[in-house]
């Protein structure tokens, strides 16, 4: 799991420095079906009313996120013991996740501190003497059980300077309780809840997509659980699909750009094969990224999706299932339905972001009869039993007298530290002044790692920008309500900056005279609009879409470092993410050479499509740019410089060399046998167009040594449909003829 721990403060006091005040305890509550998660952040002190909090818990499984607990007082322990004992009566099972080092200390010292709970994950403190920094490494009681039992952690690269950092505790003391507990793993439904609803990552393979498939009559039901990323099994999912297909996306977690692209390809691939496809239970991030009108196509409808609602009465945030059929009259105005809390019956407030509601307003009303609705409900309620490896769960055991005697020096030091802390706190003000934070949105609430920004982030940064040193670029997201969105945005900003930097390094004068002028106006306009109004949704989307398109075109680059910060704003938790992408000098040299290399065919001089052109036309990710045009078949066809050739006779043009071969071979064939020369081309503006003209071959012109080219005609394009469907838009011939009636 990779949720954000708060900054780890060093226990070594600095001379002349004033310690930061520890924030009071904040409790966030998230509920979904039989699972409730309580996230505690701050100090557990006497003011913590454990009995009252436990009385509000009624669930099958209670998950306690303790990564943000940075202090526990003596009276706080008393209240905690009351809470954990009473909570055990209201929940069948309790799981502790992301336990902070302060929590691990109490597990080791206080008998019964965990009650009947099992510890799944906890932080181990590491220290780097090279850069004098401290970090926390998350361990799990399933993945890391052997290291926990050995009570020894090996050195690992520092998250700041990449030098070695070491485990900064005594293993025998720090792991005593958790080693006694032993192996423990999460049930799949809990893993799905943490990943899909709260954006936690469980283990290195926790995000891997799992697919369950059931057949009911002519209905095929697919239940997805996990992340949409490069492991998305598009080909396996598409194989054999027919009839009515139900995609249950309720347990989909993070959606990475490559996973989104694979999903869109799946939809495109199965659309001709199925009668209808329905998406049910889609979480907000799925709706926002994959349910816009272009993504759904002709046969995909969203039947239901989830929206987060907050109850002001019982302070619970929960995901509520929204039926598009039932609430379409309200949803089409980008308005969330009015719902009441299932626990206290008070009116709830929708906490969905503007981006999600904008997409929701465009969803068509699905056509679902009562029989299909009943089938969907039955399939969603059906549990799928899976064979699993045997698990060994050891109950917590009380500490022996020998263990307590070994811990006596540690306990005395802890008491001394607590006493010193109370002495310092007495000098602090009762209420700290409002902190605008680094970007004016609010105080820093959490960091992804460490106590400060890593050294690779520039000293001065602005949300929504990027910067480069040679071919190492850092992207900064805009201020976002979603950690995942901020991380994706920062990654794409860094990759786009690499592409822009490559363009500046190409020395060919002809290339510089032709290609940059094709993308610079669009890029500069989008960035200038964002700089003028950083709060504008339209400006942010323009920059985000442009960078995303460029990142898709420049395939294969991924961040080598990530980092994010969370802030407490008046509107709730907000995030800014940072990503670093480093391109080795040799790879940069090879790329610039490949983009600048020219090819010649039929009077045209072309270079490979440069990724920055995606600012101009966001569906561009391949092709050949015309940088020079002399008299010849292509000039007669009506093409011009700066046009991008996408396909020759329905065959896609990957790069300049592919174009030269396809165009030369095609023209040779037509010169011999006659026919239509057909090119799919992206002009400087508008949608892709087809240019074509008839060529009379030698068989029809025996006395003419050169084939006759008749010029552009107005016949409809008849090439492979998949080429057109990929680019969409109006299909026109080179002479400005009529739209293809198939559109």
What CATH number does the domain located at 26-188+400-418 have?
3.30.750.24
CA-wise closest residue to 78 among 41, 117, 46: 46
Is residue 723 pLDDT above 50, yes or no?
A: no
Which among 606, 588, 589 is positioned nearest to 510, based on CA atoms?
606
Q: Distance between CA 121 and CA 185 in Å, rounded?
A: 10
Spell out where 480-519 has E strands.
none
List of residues 6+ apart from 154 with CB closer than 8 A: none
Q: What is the pLDDT of residue 202?
A: 58
CATH pick for 597-727 out of 3.90.1170.40, 2.40.33.10, 2.30.42.10, 3.40.50.2300: 2.30.42.10
244 in the Ramachandran plot: left (φ > 0), alpha (ψ -120 to 50) or beta?
beta
Distance CA 111, CA 348 (A): 40
> Higher-confidence residue: 417 or 359?
359
Supply 523's token pair.
């890029």
Instruction: Residue 386: name the closest of 213, 559, 230 by CA.
Output: 213
Confidence of residue 718 (pLDDT cuts 50, 70, 90): very low
> How many residues are recorded in the chain?
743
CA distance 480 to 110: 40
- When the pLDDT of each residue in the chain is averaged and rounded to a whole number, the result is 81
Distance from C-alpha of 306 to C-alpha of 324, rounded to nearest angstrom: 10
Choice among 140-149, 204-213, 382-391, 593-602 with the minimum mean pLDDT: 382-391
Q: How confident is the model at residue 709 (pLDDT cuts 50, 70, 90)?
A: low
DSSP 428-458: S-SSPPP---TTSS-EEEEESSSSS--TTS-
Beta-carbon contacts of 553 under 8 Å, excluding residues fewer than 6 positions away, are: 499, 609, 611, 613, 614, 620, 621, 622
Looking at residue 388, what is its pLDDT? 38
Region of poorest pLDDT, from 96-100, 142-146, 360-364, 604-608: 142-146
Residue percentage of the chain with pLDDT more than 90? 37
81 vs 138: CA distance, rounded Å: 25
Q: What is the pLDDT of residues 353-412, one digit of tens each?
A: 888 999 999 999 999 998 899 999 988 887 654 443 333 333 344 444 544 454 455 445
CATH class of 207-381: alpha beta
Q: What is the pLDDT of residues 43-56, one digit of tens each?
A: 999 889 989 999 88
Question: What are the residues whose beta carbons fall under 8 Å from the beta carbon of 359, sequence distance 6 or more?
Answer: 287, 288, 291, 292
Residue 42 binned pLDDT confidence (cut-offs 50, 70, 90):
very high
Confidence band (pLDDT; 50, 70, 90) for 699? low
- Rounded average pLDDT over 612-638: 89
Task: Determine the distance from the C-alpha atom of residue 233 to the mean position of all C-alpha atoms in its chain, rounded to a whole number.
Answer: 18
**Contact (Cβ atoms closer than 8 angstroms) between residue 32 and residue 3:** no
pLDDT-derived band at 196 (thresholds 50, 70, 90) equals: low
Same fold, 207-381 and 597-727: no
In whole angstroms, give the CA distance from residue 680 to residue 692.
9
Q: Which strands make up the sheet holding 572-582, listed edge to edge?
A: 443-447, 561-569, 572-582, 472-476, 466-469
Domain boundaries, the chain: 26-188+400-418, 207-381, 443-588, 597-727
Element at 377 (helix H, strand E): helix 370-381
Quick one: CA dihedral 619, 624, 630, 633, positive or negative?
negative
Of 317 and 397, more confident: 317
Contact 596, 656 (CB under 8 A): no
């Amino acid at each position: 799991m990779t949720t954000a721990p708060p900054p780890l403060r060093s226990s070594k006091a600095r001379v002349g420095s004033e310690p930061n005040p520890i924030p009071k305890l904040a409790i966030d509550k998230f509920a979904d079906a039989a699972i409730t998660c309580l996230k505690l952040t701050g100090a557990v002190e006497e003011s913590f009313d454990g009995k009252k909090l436990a009385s509000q818990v009624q669930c099958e499984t209670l998950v306690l996120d303790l990564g943000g607990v940075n202090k526990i007082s003596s009276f706080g322990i008393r209240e905690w013991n009351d809470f954990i004992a009473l909570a055990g009566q209201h929940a069948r099972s309790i799981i502790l996740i992301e336990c902070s080092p302060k929590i691990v200390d109490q597990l080791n010292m206080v008998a019964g501190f965990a009650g009947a709970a099992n510890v799944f994950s906890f932080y181990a403190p590491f220290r780097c003497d090279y850069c004098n920094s401290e970090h926390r490494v998350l361990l799990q009681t399933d993945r890391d059980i052997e290291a926990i039992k050995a009570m020894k952690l090996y050195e690992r690269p520092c998250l700041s300077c990449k030098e070695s950092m070491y485990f900064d505790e005594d293993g025998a003391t720090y792991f005593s309780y958790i080693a006694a507990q032993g192996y423990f793993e999460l049930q799949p439904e809990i893993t799905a809840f943490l990943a899909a609803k709260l954006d936690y990552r469980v283990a290195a393979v926790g995000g891997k997509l799992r697919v369950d498939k059931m057949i009911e009559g002519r209905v095929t039901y697919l239940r997805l659980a996990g992340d949409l990323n490069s492991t998305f099994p598009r080909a396996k999912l598409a194989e054999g699909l027919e009839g009515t297909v139900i995609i249950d996306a309720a347990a989909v977690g993070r959606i990475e750009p490559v996973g989104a692209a694979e999903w869109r390809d799946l939809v495109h691939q199965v659309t001709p094969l199925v009668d209808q496809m329905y998406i049910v239970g889609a979480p907000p991030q799925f709706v926002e990224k994959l349910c816009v009108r272009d993504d759904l196509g002709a046969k995909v409808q969203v039947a239901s999706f989830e929206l987060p609602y907050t109850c002001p009465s019982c302070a619970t945030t929960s995901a509520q299932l929204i039926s598009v059929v039932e609430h379409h009259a309200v949803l089409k105005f980008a308005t969330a339905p009015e719902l009441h809390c299932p626990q206290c019956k008070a009116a709830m407030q929708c906490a969905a972001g503007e981006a999600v509601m904008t997409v929701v307003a465009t969803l068509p009303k699905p056509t679902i009869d009562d029989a299909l609705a009943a089938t969907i409900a039955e399939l969603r309620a059906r549990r799928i039993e899976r064979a699993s490896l045997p698990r060994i769960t050891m109950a917590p055991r009380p500490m022996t007298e020998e263990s307590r005697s070994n811990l006596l020096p540690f306990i005395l030091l802890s008491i001394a530290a607590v006493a010193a802390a109370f002495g310092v706190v007495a000098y602090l003000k009762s209420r700290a002044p409002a902190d605008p934070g680094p970007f004016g949105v609010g105080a820093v609430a959490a960091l992804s790692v460490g106590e400060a920004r890593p050294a690779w982030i520039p000293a001065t940064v602005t949300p929504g920008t990027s910067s480069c040193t040679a071919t190492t670029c850092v992207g900064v997201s805009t201020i976002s309500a979603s950690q995942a969105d901020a991380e994706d945005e920062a990654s794409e900003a860094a990759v786009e900056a690499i592409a822009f930097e490559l363009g500046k390094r190409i020395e060919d004068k002809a290339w510089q005279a032709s290609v940059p002028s094709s993308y610079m106006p669009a890029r500069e306009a989008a960035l200038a609009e964002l700089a003028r109004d950083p709060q504008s949704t339209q400006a942010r989307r323009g920059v985000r879409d442009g960078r995303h398109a460029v990142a898709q075109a420049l395939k294969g680059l991924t961040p080598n470092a990530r980092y994010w910060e969370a802030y407490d704003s008046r509107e709730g938790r907000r995030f800014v993410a940072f990503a670093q992408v480093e391109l080795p000098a040799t790879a940069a040299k090879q790329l610039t050479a490949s983009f600048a290399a020219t090819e010649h065919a039929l009077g045209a001089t072309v270079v490979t499509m440069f990724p920055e052109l995606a600012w101009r036309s966001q569906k561009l990710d391949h092709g050949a740019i015309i940088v020079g045009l002399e008299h010849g078949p292509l000039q007669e066809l009506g093409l011009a410089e700066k046009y991008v050739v996408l396909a020759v006779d329905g065959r896609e043009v990957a790069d300049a060399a592919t174009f030269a071969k396809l165009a030369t071979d095609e023209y040779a064939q037509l010169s011999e046998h006659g026919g239509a020369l057909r090119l799919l081309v992206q002009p400087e503006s508008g949608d892709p167009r087809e240019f074509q003209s008839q060529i009379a071959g030698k068989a029809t012109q025996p006395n003419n040594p050169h084939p006759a080219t008749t010029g552009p005609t107005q016949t409809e394009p008849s090439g492979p449909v998949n080429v057109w469907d990929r680019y969409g838009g109006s299909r026109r011939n080179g002479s400005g003829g009529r739209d293809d009636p198939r559109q």
